[in-house]
Amino acid sequence: MIRSAVTVSLVEEARGGPFVFWDGIPAACRSASELGYDAIEIFAPSPTAVDVDELNTLLERHGLTVAAVGTGAGMVKHGLSLTDPDAAKRQQARDFVRSMIDFGGPLGAPAIIGSMQGRWGGDLDRTATLGLLGEALQELGEHALQFQVPLIYEPLNRYETNLINTVADGVELLRGLATENVKLLADLFHMQIEEVDLAEAIRAGAGFIGHVHFVDSNRRAAGFGHMDFGPIAAALIETGYDGFASVEAFPLPDSATAASQTIKAFNECFRN
Ligand code: LER
Ligand code: MN
C-alpha cells in the first residue's frame, strides 16, 4: 500500500527550499499525525543533529515512521559531491552519506542521494563522472543492505544536474550496477520538467522506483498547480509501487495549508 509522508527541514541554509515543515521535529510530528500522515521525511544538517531516542519517542507517540532521510546538506552546508574531481572531497562526500545511512538505517529509513550526485564539467566528462557516481552508489547501496533499506537515487531536472534527468536514464544507471539495492526516486516536480509523459515514465520504471516526491507542477502542494494526478496515481498503483508518496513542496501559502492540501490530494489519489 502506498503510504503518505511529509518533509521537515532542519537545515537553515536551505530556507526557501521545498520542504513543508521548518519548526523542528516535535512540531512536525504533531502536525503530521493530526493530519493523518503515515511518516515524516527528515532533511537534517548531519546525523548528530537529531536525538534518536527523542525521535523514537515522538514517532511512537504519534504513530509515525521515518520515510527517508535526505543527504543534500552535504552539498548545501559542506559543498560536498560524490562526483567531485578531487578524490579527497569525494571520499568526504561518501563518508557523509554513509553517516546518514547509519542514522536512517536503524529507523528503517533509506537515505536519498539528490544534489550530492553533483554534475559533470571541467576535467571530467559525463561518462567519467557517471562512472564515479556509479561507484559511489554501488558502495553506499551495499552499505545500506545491513539495515535492509535501499539507497535512493534521485534524477533531478536539468537546472540541478547534467548527469541524469529522467527515470529511464536512472534505470539505465542502476542496471549498470552490481548491486540491486539502489532504487530511484520519482520526484514529480523534476519529472514534469523532463519527462514526455509522467505516467508512462513511471510504468517504464516499474520495479526500479523506491520513493516518490509527491508534489505539483510548480513545486507547490498537490492541487495547487496544474499536474494531472489521475494517470500518475493509476500508474503507481498498477505497477505495484508500495513505497511512500512524500510531500517535498514549498510551504505555500504556509506549512499547515501545504500539508493539509497534500493529504487531501493523497487520499483522493490513493485511498478511494
Ligand atoms: C532537489 O531538487 C530535490 O528534489 C531533493 O529531493 C534532493 O535533495
Ligand atoms: Mn525531490
Q: List residues with catalytic annotation.
A: 154, 248
Task: Mention every residue, 6+ apart, whose C-beta is less than 8 A from residue 56.
Answer: 107
Residue carrying C-alpha cell 520504471: 205
Q: Which of 156, 159, 185, 213 should be mutated for ligand 1, with most atoms under 8 A from CB?
A: 156
Q: Which of 77, 115, 161 should be mutated for ligand 1, with most atoms under 8 A from CB?
A: 115
- Centre of ligand 1 to C-alpha 76, Å, is 11
Of the candidates 255, 180, 269, 191, the one whose C-alpha atom is nearest the C-alpha of residue 223 is 269
Q: Which residue puts its alpha carbon closest to atom 5 of ligand 1?
A: 114
**What number of other Cβ atoms are within 10 A of residue 106's Cβ?**
12
Summarised one tens digit per residue, pLDDT across range 217-248 is: 999 999 999 999 999 999 999 999 999 999 99
Summarised one tens digit per residue, pLDDT across range 105-146 is: 999 999 999 999 999 999 999 999 999 999 999 999 999 999
- Centre of ligand 2 to C-alpha 153, Å, is 10
Ligand 1 pocket, residue 41 CB under 6 Å: no
Q: Domain spans of the chain?
A: 3-270
Summarised one tens digit per residue, pLDDT across range 181-193 is: 999 999 999 999 9
Q: Give the whole-angstrom CA distance, residue 256 versus residue 53.
A: 26
pLDDT for residue 272 is more than 90:
no
CATH topology of domain 3-270: TIM Barrel (3.20.20)
